[in-house]
Amino acid sequence: MEKFTGQGAGELSAIDTDRIIEMAWEDRTPFDAIEAQFGLKESAVKALMKQTLKPASYVRWRKRVEHCKTKHTATRNDHISRFKSKAQRAISQNKISKR
């Protein structure tokens, strides 16, 4: 995978690029969280997605993002002030044993 050197990105490693793509696909992760963690504005995330995804996947993602109110902090409900779901636990707090 090529290193993305788009607007505000510097150079991203393959691991960072994969994580940004994962965060961009998640409904509950706003673009502000990506910007806080990686320094990429929404337009740079869109450019990265367009560069790395297949054209049909990019179109599907764009349609999904346009209709997802949780991707933009301004359109989110005021009671949502976190980046992750309440159901998500840290690994150390996971009560389910793997047998």
Taking only the tens place, the pLDDT of each residue in 78-94 is: 655 555 555 444 444 44
- CA dist 37 and 52 (Å) reads 20
Q: Domain locations in the chain?
A: 9-72
Q: Residue 27 — very low, low, confident or very high, per pLDDT cuts 50/70/90?
A: confident
| pLDDT tens digits along 31-75 | 888 998 999 999 999 999 999 999 999 999 999 888 877 776 665
Amino acid at 34: I
- CA dist 15 and 35 (Å) reads 16
Give this prediction's pTM: 0.65
Task: Return the DSSP state at 44.
Answer: H
